[in-house]
Structure 1
Amino acid sequence: MKNYISLHTILCAFLLGASAMLINACSDWNEPETLKFDTIGPESQNPELYARYTESLKEYKKRPHYLVYARLDNAPKVSVSEKDFLRGMPDSLDYVVLTRPEQITDFDREDMKKVQADMGTRILWYADLSKDKDAINKAVSGMSAEGFDGISLSITRTNVPDATQLEKLFASAGPRSKSGKMLFFEGNPADLPTDLHNAFDYIVLNTSGLTTAYDLVFQIDHARQFAGIPSSKLIISAAPEGKLTDIGKESIIGTAGYVVSAGPLAGLGIYNAGNDYYDPQANYKTIRAAIQLLNPSPIK
């Protein structure tokens, strides 16, 4: 009995010690630890091929073609995927409008420099006067400080900027500025005085909520005939998940078709672009298809 008790005591002590070690180990496992990963991009995998590709891409954007631009809801409170970042967007986009430019992060800044230099993509500061009366001043100073390529201004008839604001804006961006910075107008072109048409590079017509091609063509004709916007300055817009019911086509693809058939117009704008990110075959599948439709690649 004595030997049994001694053996039992030793066994219990061993198990208690092992349990303590296991608990401590589990505690260590539960401690969060930052892991570092080195992302190897195509520029590192094959620098020569990547250089040829990016040069070809920049040359394409310099040639006459239908423009495609997208709005990116950058810098959300919590990023959920690559859809929140510039680096994940299609390379063939001509312009990307950051809808939260004042919240620009270091990740945005890093991505901006890369897509501007490598892809020739131009990044615009979105200024919405209906949400911020000081939006133009912030856009002008932010564009310069952060290295944006221009400004996309959204106004309505009830919040048209005063002459002082317009003078500052036109001196900083657009054809009148001679600065090389782009200036887009987003809104109802009927709200834009005729003598200001030539102060903007492009007029973006918000047709993203339309559900029929009939209404789309009506809006295009109204902008040209009533507001006097030339086709060469007019961009029409669409959004993911919409549909032009009378022609049975997805909104982005259907609207892209009318850039050609109702014009030719300057190009296509994509609102809420991030909603097109997820697809089992390829990210931004619909936007890529629209770009290909408007500017077919000679390489199949």
Structure 2
Amino acid sequence: MNITLKSFASVILLAGAVSMVSCDDWTDIESQDLNYNTIDKADPEGYARYLENLRAYRGSDHKKVYVWFENSNEYVGQSKRLTAVPDSVDAVILNNPEVLSSETLADVKKIREDKGMEVLYTIDFDAFKAAYTAMQESATEENPLEISFREFMSDSLSHALRYQPMYSYDGIMIGYNGKNPNNLSFEEEAEYKALQDLFIGSINDWHSHNPQVKIDFIGKPQNLIGDNRSILDDCRMVFLSQGLDATNADLFTYYLKLAQQEGVPAEKLGMVAIGTSVDPNLEKQGYFIDGSRAVQRLGEWGARNYSQIAGIGIFNAQDDYYNPDRVYPCTRDAIQAVNPCAK
């Protein structure tokens, strides 16, 4: 509950006054209403105008900001609320698209309708591959793995695509790192292309029947081969996943140039970084080798390379909520760097 200082002081004074009167007079004390200091209640008309301007901002010329968010099926506090995400974020990508609590669904509706913020989820080829590899490693002679990776991926992809209409997601983030095809033998490249054709081709076919669903890409676009590269034409953003492994801002520039050499246009290119973690086992996550925070450096780098990128992406955004002075400090700093407020 957010109570104004004025209201809080009134409560204290009231308590003191009660202590100085006789018991017979207590029934004469009138109940006092507590005032909330949230802007929507303090100035409803002003807040309505703000939301209208915020929705208009979505279509303006600015650098897009996407955040990856670790949602859960339990409501565990404000840090898990999508409504707490900074308003200038353009899109939230939920890490667990099949796990949407009633509170999360209510938040999705609110940020979409009130703020024009989009909610997406990722369908990732490499995640399918990792899941299948884990199944292989756990297989035994008594319990052999009786499904091929092609069958597993096809089933998993079909299942994942159902989440979009099930929860009315605004779009899908296509995840594909893959391998450098130049390092493969002829036989390996043939198999690599066949799997890529199945993954990208299936999504392409699905999107042709659902053109209203927005699609974006994260991964290594240089590893797409043949006709599969055409999927980038339909994607609004092409985020470079190598940014997650960067240990300094110079590597952002290096990865950017690699994508530019592959012909990915600047109006689609986005760089990503991962935020720090509240998990004590991940105390080094989100920091560059010089001790600076990767997300803040990403914002500064994005400002310096303003004309060469279309936006930035922030992983593990939900942990940036925790700050005694200001929630989402690094996210807000990065947004302000690439989309500075007019002065």
Match of 2:82 among 78, 83, 86: 86
Q: CA RMSD of the aligned region, Å?
A: 2.3
Amino acid at match of 1:268: I
Matched, 1:197 2:232: yes
Matched, 1:97 2:133: no
Match of 1:171 among 208, 211, 221: 208
Match of 2:173 among 147, 152, 156: 152
Contact kept? 1:129, 1:135, Cα under 8 Å: no
Match of 2:33 in 1: none
Contact kept? 1:127, 1:135, Cα under 8 Å: no
Amino acid at match of 1:221: K
TM-score, scaled relative to structure 2: 0.68
Report the alpha carbon displacement of residue 111 of structure 1 after superposing the two structures with TM: 0.3
Report the alpha carbon displacement of residue 80 of structure 1 after superposing the two structures with TM: 4.0
Distance 1:142 1:40, change over 3 A: farther
Report the alpha carbon displacement of residue 228 of structure 1 after superposing the two structures with TM: 1.9
Match of 1:67 among 64, 69, 87: 64
Higher relative contact order (CA 8 A, sep 6+): 2
Q: Secondary structure at the match of 2:308?
A: coil
Report the alpha carbon displacement of residue 135 of structure 1 after superposing the two structures with TM: 4.5
Match of 2:214 among 155, 174, 182: 182
Report the alpha carbon displacement of residue 52 of structure 1 after superposing the two structures with TM: 0.8
Distance across 2 between alignment mates of 1:129 and 1:203: 16
Report the alpha carbon displacement of residue 245 of structure 1 after superposing the two structures with TM: 4.1
Distance across 2 between alignment mates of 1:201 and 1:136: 21
| Cα offsets for 1:74-98 (capped at 9, x unmatched) | 115x554322221111111000001
Match of 2:162 among 132, 141, 152: 141
Amino acid at match of 2:44: P
Amino acid at match of 2:329: K
TM-score, scaled relative to structure 1: 0.77
Distance across 1 between alignment mates of 2:238 and 2:333: 23
Distance 1:91 1:185, change over 3 A: same
Contact kept? 2:55, 2:116, Cα under 8 Å: yes
Unaligned runs of 5+ in 1: 1-38
Contact kept? 2:270, 2:311, Cα under 8 Å: yes
Q: Secondary structure at the match of 2:166?
A: helix
Instruction: Tell me how many residue pairs correspond in the alignment.
Output: 253
| Bigger shift: residues 208-217 or 129-138 | 129-138
Match of 1:48 in 2: 45
Matched, 1:274 2:318: yes
Which structure would you say has the larger Rg?
A: 1
Report the alpha carbon displacement of residue 284 of structure 1 after superposing the two structures with TM: 0.4
Between the aligned residues of both structures, percent identity stands at 27
